[in-house]
Amino acid sequence: MEIQWYPGHMTKAKRQMQEDLKLIDIIIELIDARIPYSGRNPDIRSMGAQKSRLIVLNKADLADEKRNRLWMEYYQQQGAQVLLADSRNRGTLKQIQPLIREACREKIERDRRRGIRNRTIKAMVVGIPNVGKSTFINSMAGRASAKTGNKPGVTKGKQWIHLSKELDLLDTPGILWPRFDDPKAGVRLAFIGSVSDDVVQTEELSLELIRYLTAEYPGMLEARYGVSESEEPVKILENIAVNRKCLSAGNQVSYEKAAAILLDEFRRGALGRVTLEIPEA
């Protein structure tokens, strides 16, 4: 299964982000903790290579706890400041400002030597679509400062949010990259909803998800839907449709409706905590 999605507005957004780099001190890169490698835009990774950077593994509450620790160690070993977070829970963000100060320590020291003290740090919040940037900013601000939504493309342009005399945040649209060289990356992005469902065959996508879950998280689908995982993926999807009474005209089983239920429940964590890749792979 091959998935490609790069709407034209993302090219404009990328150009704007490159222009805004001169305005900021640090990049806060949000990555979905369920796909900590495939969900990292290589264009964003290369942009602002000389800027301080903080990696936030967001939606960590939806990801496998053991694999969360592996990925945190993976990025820390690369010298990154890393935080596991659930942006809907402000308590998981308490360490953000200390980590930002640590990441910007050299710049703060340079300012101090020049006699500049307590200058506001300007941070750009970046990531792929639907990674939770606006929710992150709203939780940091303690108010609804940025538009949110459980689909890609909610944030259309840049917006500055003043948090305190210490920190300003620049929200940016979620962007992907022009071509997914690894087909699995496109599929994983589609699993979590970072690729629009309008360009995806959701039934085929759901079969890919069933294959992964039965191999890596055996018993999860059985526990949620009461289906036997010894069947072929298409039969498992059919049994999910029957158990959830997914019917179309003529009382026929609707694979499309069953696929929509499976993907929705996976994305919001109703199946359990899942991470779709591990560092060793």
Summarize pLDDT for 66-104 with one digit per residue, the tens: 999 999 999 999 988 999 999 999 999 999 999 999 999
Summarize pLDDT for 208-230 with one digit per residue, the tens: 999 999 999 999 999 999 999 99
HSE (side-chain half, CA atoms, 13 Å) at 65? 1
pLDDT surpasses 90 at 111:
no
The arithmetic mean of pLDDT across residues 263-278, rounded, is 97
Whether residue 94 contacts residue 141, with contact meaning beta carbons closer than 8 Å, is answered with: no
The arithmetic mean of pLDDT across residues 253-276, rounded, is 97
* Cross-strand pairs, 28: 54, 125
What is the pLDDT at residue 145?
61
pLDDT surpasses 50 at 65:
yes
Q: Indicate the SS3 state at residue 263.
A: helix
Nearest to 127 by CA among 175, 171, 177: 175
What is the pLDDT at residue 152?
47
- Close Cβ partners of 179 (under 8 Å, ≥ 6 residues apart): 4, 6
Whose structure tokens read 């449709």?
241
The arithmetic mean of pLDDT across residues 165-194, rounded, is 91
* Cross-strand pairs, 82: 55
| Opening angle at CA 202, ends 211 and 233, nearest 5 | 25
What is the pLDDT at residue 158?
64
Q: Which helix (H) or strand (E) holds 84?
A: strand 81-84
pLDDT surpasses 90 at 182:
no
Question: Would residue 35 be called left, alpha or beta, if left means φ above 0 and alpha means ψ between -120 and 50 degrees?
Answer: beta
Whether residue 173 contacts residue 156, with contact meaning beta carbons closer than 8 Å, is answered with: yes
Q: Indicate the SS3 state at residue 129.
A: coil
For residue 180, what pLDDT band results from cuts at 50, 70 and 90? confident
- Close Cβ partners of 1 (under 8 Å, ≥ 6 residues apart): 183, 187, 201, 204, 205, 208
Whether residue 169 contacts residue 184, with contact meaning beta carbons closer than 8 Å, is answered with: no
How do beta strands 247-248 and 252-253 pair? antiparallel
Summarize pLDDT for 141-150 with one digit per residue, the tens: 886 565 544 4
Q: Would you give the DSSP letter of residue 51? A: S
Summarize pLDDT for 131-168 with one digit per residue, the tens: 999 899 999 988 656 554 444 444 445 688 988 888 99
The arithmetic mean of pLDDT across residues 50-54, rounded, is 90
| Domains located in the chain, CATH noted | 8-171 (3.40.50.300), 201-267 (1.10.1580.10)
- Close Cβ partners of 10 (under 8 Å, ≥ 6 residues apart): 173, 175, 176
